[in-house]
Amino acid sequence: MISASELISLGELTVEGRFVDASNATLFAKCLYKGEEAAVIYKPTAGERPLWDFPDGNLANRELAAYLLSEALGLHLVPYTIVRDGPFGFGMVQEWIEIDESIDVVELAKSDHPSIRAMILFDAIINNTDRKYGHILPTEDGQIFGCDHGVTFHEDPKLRTVLWHLAGVEFLASELEILQRARSIASGVTEGLITSAEHGALITRIDQLLEIGSYPEPSDEWPAIPWPPF
């Protein structure tokens, strides 16, 4: 059996539909390779809507940086992600996650589930400006993934999320260890994918989290919750 990563990396990308509510071109596709297939999300760079506060044509790299950092930290929160060519040019291609429809995502998001705690910490590290309920993907086997990490790693503090219920709660020892590891590897993992100023801000954020020792609290200088929240 061919692995999902091999299928997504080497398979022929065939677009089957588009998510019309997405602000950027977000396509549902299949990667076909040696008679097997994997469902994916394909976001071609050519379909990115220009943003006033992020460099043009860079959202795919930020999605890749988020995946690579999640993997390097052992969090495994982001589905397998690469940047590759496709029918509409280079873009992000990410493994499609089948969610467990029986799970109330809002209730899950308010819980103390270890993966939710990890997601809150990860979002604080990468400065996620758009963590919506719909970006939380629970599966039938108990895993929880997060998606849509294009607007991350900005050099200015812009954390915006629906996950604020741990604000001010002290980090566990294991979470402090994750931050220490992030401090030592983050720049190398994201090299070439974000700007030098964003690299510096990334390390500064981690240092601040280590110094404070607790989950961040909402800022009054930036909208704390994305709208709409789904």
Q: What is the pLDDT of residues 35-57, one digit of tens each?
A: 999 999 999 999 888 787 887 77
Span 29-39, average pLDDT: 96
Residue-level pLDDT at 98: 97
pLDDT of residue 44: 96
Q: What pLDDT, in 10s, does the model give residues 104-158?
A: 999 999 999 999 999 999 999 999 999 999 999 999 999 999 999 999 999 999 9
> What structural domains and CATH numbers belong to the chain?
4-212 (1.10.510)
Indicate the pLDDT class of residue 222, thresholds 50, 70 and 90: confident
pLDDT score of 23 more than 80: no
CB atoms within 10 A of CB 110: 15
- In the chain, the percentage of residues whose pLDDT exceeds 70 is 100
Rounded to whole angstroms, the Cα distance separating 7 from 122 reads: 27
* 149 in Cβ contact with 128 (< 8 Å): yes
Average pLDDT, the chain: 95
| Cα–Cα dist 212/186, whole Å | 19
pLDDT at 43: 97
Q: What's the per-residue H, E or C state across 134-182?
A: HHEEECCCCCEEECCCCCCCCCCCCCCECCCCCCCCECCHHHHHHHHHH
